[in-house]
Amino acid sequence: MHFKNGILYLLLATAIFSCSEKNGSEKTATSSVVTESEKLKFRIDTLTNELENPWGIAFLPDGRILVTERKGEIRIIQDGKLLAEKIENVPAVYAHGQGGLLDIIAHPDYATNGWIYFSYAKPGEGGGGTTIVRAKLNGNALTDVQELFTAQPYADSEVHFGSRIVFDGNGHIFFSCGERGTKENAQNLGNHLGKILRLNEDGSVPNDNPFVATAGAKPEIWSYGHRNPQGLVYNKTTGELWNVEHGPKGGDELNKVEKGKNYGWPVITYGTNYDGTPITDITAKEGMEQPVWYWVPSIATCGMAQVTSDKYPGWKNNFLVGALAQTHIARVEVENGKYIKHERILEKIGRVRMIAQSPDGYLYIATESPGMVLKINPAE
């Protein structure tokens, strides 16, 4: 049977889990329901539904999947089930509002160097700041923890921390930081807030970053004029960096992020204040980039993946974008940097926080309310 509505899947998953074992040892729930999207038929496997605000997903060569929970814990999925044991020695987090433990990613050469990178809101004088750390694993404990970066200034705001991390395969990491709810930060090169940033993998600043020689500018900045970027993808084949970021009421954006460019927030936007009053009277301005696509009303764009795997031929090179508020995934087709169309899939699946493609080419989803990790399997 074919079903286009994810509601039926949720009912099925609930029924399966009502019979499953608890306390971190539940059986993997495999849905027999085939979902038929425009270009692909697929099934969903539910690895767990017992997480609390899962945020990031990392894949290790031994098959383990690490999942961050915003409250400050790193959970382990092994052999298709959530373990009761957790990763130890995680730094204390600023767990306020949207802040806490955020993204996690294994270095592309993890099998050789053992580095895991993660982002979190670090508590400090004045509130919290988006921080990038790398560490190694000794058993199930973090060791050799190295703080590479903390966004300045700290702020007591509980919103707009970012933050995703990607590698470019050329010795650099890109990561995002929101403007912490103060719009003007995004246009100010003198702070890190509302920016996409770029570092060498050891935390040093690349000498070819665009604002290294600009007086008063933070040298880590790659691009600016961002509101709250919570999705980031680097395509190593094309060398393109893409992001999705939250608009206010309306104006969520998909952007092709390029060196030194200004993405306009809050001078230009397709959104309004939450009470409906205008933020600005313009949506375009010379010297400011237009989004490749924008959503009105907002879907609350979050984690994203670009499908490079051959396992999903109908979706090849498409972006899959998580929707928090509208609880679905947007499949977005882009050709030659231009928006073509998008499709809503897995309606009502939950607040989609992250979508990640594993090294073996499969797609995984992390959702909130309920806190699940799901795997998308193509249907034959």
Mapping DSSP onto H, E and C, the string for 244-257 reads EECCCECCEEEEEE
For residue 92, the one-letter residue type is: A
The percentage of residues in the chain with a pLDDT greater than 70, rounded to a whole number, is 92
Distance of alpha carbon 125 from alpha carbon 119, whole angstroms: 18
Kindly state the average pLDDT of the residues 323-335: 98
pLDDT band at residue 1, thresholds of 50, 70 and 90? very low
pLDDT of 38 strictly over 60 = yes
Which has the closest alpha carbon to 253: 281, 289, 286? 289
pLDDT over 90, % of the chain: 91
Q: Are 328 and 345 in contact (CB under 8 A)?
A: yes
Amino acid (1-letter code) at residue 139: G
Q: Which of the four pLDDT bands, split at 50, 70 and 90, describes residue 380?
A: confident
Identify whether the C-beta of residue 342 lies closer than 8 Å to the C-beta of residue 333.
yes
pLDDT at 6 over 80: no
Q: What is the pLDDT of residues 348-358, one digit of tens each?
A: 999 999 999 99
CB contact at 8 A, 358 and 20: no
Average pLDDT of the segment spanning 146-175: 97
Span 357-372, mean pLDDT?
A: 96
Would you call 160 a catalytic residue per the annotation? Answer: yes
* Band of residue 32 on the pLDDT scale cut at 50, 70, 90: confident
pTM for the whole structure: 0.92
Q: Secondary structure of the chain in the HEC alphabet?
A: CEECCHHHHHHHHHHHHCCCCCCCCCCCEECCCEEECCCCEEEEEEEEEEECCEEEEEECCCCCEEEEECCCEEEEEECCEEEEEECECCCCCCCCCCCCEEEEEECCCHHHHCCEEEEEEEEECCEEEEEEEEEEEECCEEEEEEEEEECCCCECCCCCCCCCEEECCCCEEEEEECCCCCHHHHHCCCCCCCEEEEEECCCCCCCCCCCCCCCCCCCCEEEECCCCEEEEEEECCCCEEEEEECCCECCEEEEEECCCCECCCCCCCCCECCCCCCCCCCCCCCCCCCCCEEECCCCCEEEEEECCCCCCHHHCCCEEEEECCCCEEEEEEEECCEEEEEEEECCCCCEEEEEEECCCCCEEEEEECCEEEEEEEECC
pLDDT in tens, 78-132: 999 999 999 999 999 999 999 999 999 999 999 999 999 999 999 999 999 999 9
Would you say residue 68 has pLDDT above 90? yes
CB 217 within 8 A of CB 223: no
Give the amino acid at 201. Answer: E
pLDDT at 22 over 90: no
Domains in the chain, CATH or no CATH each? 2-378 (2.120.10.30)
| Nearest one of 228, 199, 211, 84 to 134, comparing CA atoms | 199
Q: Which of 160, 246, 328, 342 is catalytic?
A: 160
C-alpha pair distances (Å), 217 with each of 35, 188, 201, 210: 49, 8, 21, 10
What is the pLDDT, as a whole number, of residue 204?
98
Average pLDDT over residues 297-326: 97
Tokens of residue 194, six digits: 């509302």
Q: In the prediction, which pLDDT does 141 show?
A: 98
Q: How confident is the model at residue 12 (pLDDT cuts 50, 70, 90)?
A: very low
Quote the pLDDT of residue 27. 36
Mean pLDDT of 307-311: 97
Kindly report the average pLDDT of the chain as a whole number: 93
Distance CA 258, CA 283 (A): 19
Bridge partner list, 57: 67
**pLDDT-derived band at 19, boundaries 50, 70, 90:** very low
Q: How far is CA 371 from each of CA 19, 35, 55, 87, 306, rounded to the nearest angstrom?
A: 18, 21, 10, 18, 23
Model confidence at 142: pLDDT above 80 = yes
Q: What would the mean pLDDT of 288-313 be, rounded to a whole number?
A: 98
pLDDT at 30: 54
What pLDDT sits at residue 11? 42
Q: Is the pLDDT of residue 34 over 80?
A: yes
Say what the pLDDT of residue 28 is.
39
Map tokens 């897995």 to a residue.
346
For range 278-286, the mean pLDDT:
98
